[in-house]
Each structure stands twice: as C-alpha cells, then as structure tokens.
C-alpha cells in the first residue's frame, strides 16, 4: 500500500459518500444519471466476486463491502425511494453501447480465460467508461450542481491517483497490470475536460455550466 493508492481509495470512498449524502439530504437525485450508478453497481459486483474466494486483508474486504453496499443503496435511492425526482428524460445514454463492447473485449483481451478473470476484466473495462451517461447528462442539461461536481471530481481523481500508484509499484515491485493501466488511462482521459471545468469554474465559486 502506497500513498497514491490509499488516497485513491479514500477519494473513491469520498465520491460515493458525497453522492449518497447529496441524494439523502436534498431528498432528490436530480441531475444524477441512474444509468451510471447501475453500471457502477455492476462494476463492483463483477469485480469483487473474489470476496468469497480469497481473503487479502481486513482493509481490502471492508472497502469492497462498503463500495458494493453504497452502490446498491444509491441505485435504490434513485430508482425507488426518490424515483419521482429522477430526471429520466435527460438520462438517455444508450448503455448497451458501453456494456456490449466492454463485455466482448473482456472475452478477447484478458489475463486468463476463466469466468472470474473475465468478469474482473469486464469490470475494469466497464468502469473506465461507466461515467459517460453522467457526463452525457451534464452536457445535455448544460450544468451540474456544485455538489455533483465535487462528486465527479473525487471520482475522477481516484483513478488518476491509481495511475501514480501503478508507476510507483512498477518502480518498487516490478508489478504492472497492463489491462488495469490502459483502462485507467482511458478512464482518466474521459475526465480531463471535466477537470478543466472544475478547476476553472467550480473551485472559483461558480456553478458548473456549459456554454449554450
């Protein structure tokens, strides 16, 4: 465990909690893509199946359990508890365009052709693009609440920190996982435009709004 990875995990956890708290406190999921949240629930479920097959550490197990539980809680808040506030009309990204190609790619490019490994690989590929319905929604409505921007920033910076973690691990342990690295790079690149808007607007106290 190095500092980049730890901060990455904390940032990921923070993002998930910010979103949950935002929905809970405002009793509304306006501006949040339910589709992205379903994709994240799928990502965690397919990646953490090893919870039942091998134990790594107390930290590892508890973080996995929290991520899974929070992602399902978020989906439940959006599609059940605060369903009336869900902005489905603007959440129109076609998720099959993400799920099908990443599933096919997981079958073709993986470390080992076994069910658990393919599902893990699928989760890595899917995670890299799972935010697209949310970013699409922001670009469609042309704005995002400040708290939603904080959520997106924390979520984006998490994988960026993991990139530094992988550089560190390669240097220190000779460890590298090309699948995770390439997907992590793609994931980070998808956030770049948002990072720019976040730094130039949100951090200066302005609401994130896109030019019409």
Partner 1 sequence: HYLVTTKDEL
Report if residue 58 touches partner 1, rule: CB under 8 A: no
Closer Cβ to partner 1, 165 or 187, answer by number: 165
Of the candidates 120, 122, 151, 194, which one interacts with partner 1 according to CB under 8 A? 120
107 binds partner 1 (CB under 8 A): no
Q: How many CA atoms lie within 13 A of 75 on its CB side?
A: 16
Closer Cβ to partner 1, 175 or 196, answer by number = 175
Rounded (to 5) percent helix, strand, coil in the chain: 75, 0, 20
Q: Which residues of 35-128 form beta strands (DSSP E)?
A: none
From residue 107, how far is each of 70, 99, 103 by CA, in Å? Answer: 28, 12, 7
CB under 8 A: which stretch of 31-39, 143-151, 168-176, 204-212 binds partner 1?
168-176
If the CB atoms of residues 86 and 120 are measured against partner 1, the closer one turns out to be: 120
Q: Is 60 in the site for partner 1 (CB under 8 A)?
A: yes
Pick from 3, 21, 26, 56: which binds partner 1 (CB under 8 A)? 56
User: Among residues 179, 183, 202, 208, which is the contact residue for partner 1, using CB under 8 A?
Assistant: 179
208 has which bridge partners? 144
Is residue 28 near partner 1 by the rule CB under 8 A? no
- How far apart, in whole angstroms, are the C-alpha atoms of residue 95 and residue 110? 22
| Least spacing, CB of residue 177 vs partner 1, in Å | 4
- For partner 1, the binding residue among 7, 17, 30, 63 (CB under 8 A) is 63
Could you tell me the smallest distance in angstroms from the CB atom of residue 149 to partner 1?
Answer: 24
Quote the tokens at residue 164. Answer: 């530094």
Contact at 8 Å (CB) between 141 and 161? Answer: no
3-state secondary structure 107-134: HHCCCCCCHHHHHHHHHHHHHHHCCHHH
- 106/202 with CB nearer partner 1: 106
Is residue 38 a contact partner of residue 76, using CB atoms and an 8 Å limit? no
Q: Which is nearer to partner 1, 107 or 175 (CB)?
A: 175
Nearest to 41 by CA among 73, 12, 80, 71: 71
The residues that touch partner 1, with contacts defined as CB under 8 A, are 5, 9, 12, 50, 54, 56-57, 60, 63-64, 67, 111-112, 120, 162, 165, 174-180
């Amino acid at each position: 465990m190095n500092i980049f990875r730890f901060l990455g995990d904390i940032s990921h956890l923070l993002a998930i909690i910010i979103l949950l708290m935002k929905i809970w406190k405002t009793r509304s999921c306006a501006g949040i893509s339910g589709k992205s949240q379903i994709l994240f629930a799928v990502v965690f479920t397919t990646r953490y199946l090893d919870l039942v097959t091998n134990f790594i550490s107390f930290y590892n197990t508890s973080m996995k359990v929290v991520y899974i539980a929070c992602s399902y809680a978020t989906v439940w808040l959006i599609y059940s508890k605060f369903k009336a506030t869900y902005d489905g009309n603007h959440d129109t990204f076609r998720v099959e365009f993400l799920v099908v190609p990443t599933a096919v790619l997981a079958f073709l490019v993986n470390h080992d052709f076994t069910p658990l490994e393919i599902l893990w690989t699928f989760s890595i590929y899917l995670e890299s693009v799972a935010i697209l319905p949310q970013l699409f929604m922001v670009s469609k409505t042309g704005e995002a609440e400040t708290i939603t921007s904080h959520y997106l920033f924390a979520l984006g910076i998490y994988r960026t920190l993991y990139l530094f973690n992988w550089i560190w691990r390669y240097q220190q342990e000779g460890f590298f996982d090309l699948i995770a690295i390439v997907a992590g790079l793609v994931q980070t690149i998808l956030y770049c435009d948002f990072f720019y808007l976040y730094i130039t607007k949100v951090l200066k106290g302005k609401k994130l709004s896109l030019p019409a």
